[in-house]
Amino acid sequence: MFKKLLENMGLLSKKIAVGQEAIDKANNKQPSSDKLTEQEVNFILTKLRQANYTGAEFEMFHTVWMKISNLK
């Protein structure tokens, strides 16, 4: 029980992979999905909304906005 408490507090650390072991571990990690989640779509839309657009940029913004909005 005490060991678990120390681990939760971050006083006991787990083994950290370094060097080639870390590279191999990272390469074997597969993305969970290629599709965007609703949370990711909302993030993109929020960031697009915060920018300032002029002229042709606004037309591109509107086109992209409509396509991404349909992903929800």
pTM > 0.95:
no
Every domain of the chain and the residues it spans: 2-69
Which among 50, 70, 48, 43 is positioned nearest to 60, based on CA atoms? 48
User: Per-residue confidence of the chain (72 residues) as pLDDT tens digits?
Assistant: 666 665 666 665 667 777 887 777 777 765 566 788 889 999 999 999 999 998 889 999 999 999 999 887
Contact 68, 48 (CB under 8 A): yes
Nearest to 53 by CA among 43, 42, 64: 64
